[in-house]
Amino acid sequence: MRALTIRQPWASAIAHGSKRTENRSWPAPAKHLGTRILIHAAASEDRTPRPSRDVPLELTRDMDIWPDTRSAIVAVATLAGCHFDNRCCTPWGMSDYYHWELADVAALPEPVPAKGALGFWTPPADVVNAVCVQQTGVAW
């Protein structure tokens, strides 16, 4: 299982909000499309103004009560697809970026501490097991 590190508040917007598009400057690797991935909240926060003026207020109204978890796995999702911006993924899709489509998002009841990395990365077995126990009650 692979993980993707996302800065806050966007990791929480995926786990606890309605964000189902992750914006990246590079396309999602084809071999990961259709697979379950771990959503990792980065240690640092995004310095972009929050919320973006492109994101309607009603989608971020509860942002202040979303957990501000850092350096931990916060959700599991399916990487359902990827395409270059064609103005279809509003309000979360940004212009001139690849839109990574997320589906079947499940927030973890308890975040699992983990050190992240750039790009896709492979979490240690103990981290994957801690996530799996929360999702299925069974370690892998």
Residue 57 has pLDDT above 70, yes or no: no
Residue 42 has pLDDT above 70, yes or no: yes
Other C-beta atoms lying within 10 Å of the C-beta of residue 94: 19
pLDDT exceeding 70 applies to what percent of the chain?
Answer: 83
Here the tokens at position 136 are 């299925």
Q: Which domains does the chain have, with CATH numbers?
A: 2-136 (2.30.130.30)
Residue 37 has pLDDT above 90, yes or no: yes
The predicted-structure confidence for 71-124, as pLDDT tens digits, reads as follows 999 999 999 999 998 877 777 888 889 999 999 999 999 999 999 998 899 999
pLDDT average, residue stretch 21-35 = 96
Q: Between 42 and 92, where is the model more confident?
A: 42
HEC-encoded secondary structure of the chain: CEEEEEEECHHHHHHHCCCCEEEECCCCCHHHCCCEEEEEEEEEECCCCCCCCCCCHHHHCCHHHCCCCCCEEEEEEEEEEEEECCCCCCCCCCCCCEEEEEEEEEEEEEEEECCCCCCEECCCHHHHHHHHHHHHCCCC
Residues contacting 76, CB < 8 A, separation 6+: 36, 37, 38, 39, 105, 106, 108, 131, 135
Q: What φ, ψ does residue 62 adopt, rounded to 5°? A: -90, 10
pLDDT average, residue stretch 38-51 = 78
Distance of CA 22 to the CA centre of its chain: 7
Cα separation, 75 vs 32, whole angstroms: 17
Q: How confident is the model at residue 17 (pLDDT cuts 50, 70, 90)?
A: confident
Residue 8 has pLDDT above 70, yes or no: yes
Distance of CA 79 to the CA centre of its chain: 10
The whole-chain average pLDDT of the chain stands at 87
Q: How confident is the model at residue 31 (pLDDT cuts 50, 70, 90)?
A: very high
State the pLDDT at residue 92. 84
State the pLDDT at residue 86. 82
